[in-house]
Structure 1
Amino acid sequence: MQISAVRDALADAARTVVLPTTRAKLTCTGYTPDAVSEPHFFVGEYDVDFDKAYGRGLDIAQFTCRVLVGLADDQATQRLLDAMLSGSGPASLKQALETARGAPGEYALGGAADDLHVMRIQGYRWYEHQATSYVGAELVVKVIGQGA
């Protein structure tokens, strides 16, 4: 499993969400950006457990992804974030990411991994990024793939 390919594929999958028509399109990056064009999804930190199967057969990675939304209107901003954090619906990041699992028997993330699962949402709070405040949250995504 190549980490860079997984990061890029997660961002590509998140890019498929459909936000309410009154909002700009979600921007997405596989890496922590220097500047945020909100609303923005990015893949941040990750942890990898190597050698979960014999002969480098399986690695398991957990990616902490963040979604940040501007502060133009506190209630509207949080409603938009809530829509992206919902378990289903056109704006659901969970649904968009898990759609990238592919059909049964197919590799996930366009071949970058064997499977993935959005495990949880955490850290719903105010974030500061490059001296600008945003409301946001983290999504923890488990990705499994070949170790070799």
Structure 2
Amino acid sequence: MEPGEIRKALADAVRTPIPSLNCFGFVPDVVPPPAFYAGEVEIDFDKTFGRGMDEIQVTCRLLVSRADDRSGQALLDKYLAGSGEYSVKAALMAARGAPGEPALGGLADDLHLRRVQGYRLYQVGEVQFYGAELIVHVYGRG
């Protein structure tokens, strides 16, 4: 699995059902809120015998405007919900494909949004945003 392709596919998977989000498969220099982007990558090679399954952990960030504390956090909560039209989790789980089908359009065998963490203020350049990190695990052949 190639990390750059995985990051782009994660952004595409969220962009399709949630067009109101600005989605990036890379860490942008400027963040137009609301935004989702695939950030840091950790790779665990050879999770099975020999040169078998690899696991890529991608730390994604979801950032919304801080212009109004109450409405900004309410919007962030909508995106972090487990279901609904704004749910990033639902968008990512749809990218898993049907049972027995590959995930992310064939780039991986499976993926799992493991957790949300770091619900707090984030700073990008001189601008602060309300946001959270989404930890996504992607599994595939090495």
Q: CA deviation at 1:111?
A: 0.7
1: CA distance, partners of 2:108 / 2:126? 35
CA displacement 1:54-93 (0-9 Å, x = unmatched): 2311001111000110112111111110010111111010
For residue 27 of structure 1, what is the aligned residue in structure 2?
A: 22
2: CA distance, partners of 1:17 / 1:42? 15
2: CA distance, partners of 1:130 / 1:114? 36
Which stretches of structure 1, 4 residues or longer, exceed 6 Å deviation after superposition? none
For residue 136 of structure 1, what is the aligned residue in structure 2?
A: 131
Contact 1:27–1:38 under 8 Å retained in 2 = yes
Contact 1:17–1:26 under 8 Å retained in 2 = no
Structure 2 spans left out of the alignment, 5+ residues = none
CA displacement 1:87-126 (0-9 Å, x = unmatched): 1111010110110000111110001110000000000000
Structure 1 spans left out of the alignment, 5+ residues = 20-24
Moved more, 100-109 or 49-58: 49-58
Asked whether 1:90 is paired with 2:85, we answer yes
2: CA distance, partners of 1:133 / 1:16? 26
Equivalenced residue count is 142
**TM-score normalised per structure 2:** 0.96
**TM-score normalised per structure 1:** 0.92
Contact 1:17–1:92 under 8 Å retained in 2 = no
2: CA distance, partners of 1:11 / 1:58? 23
Q: What SS does the corresponding residue of 1:28 show, helix, strand or coil?
A: strand
Q: CA deviation at 1:16?
A: 2.8
Percent identity of equivalent pairs: 55
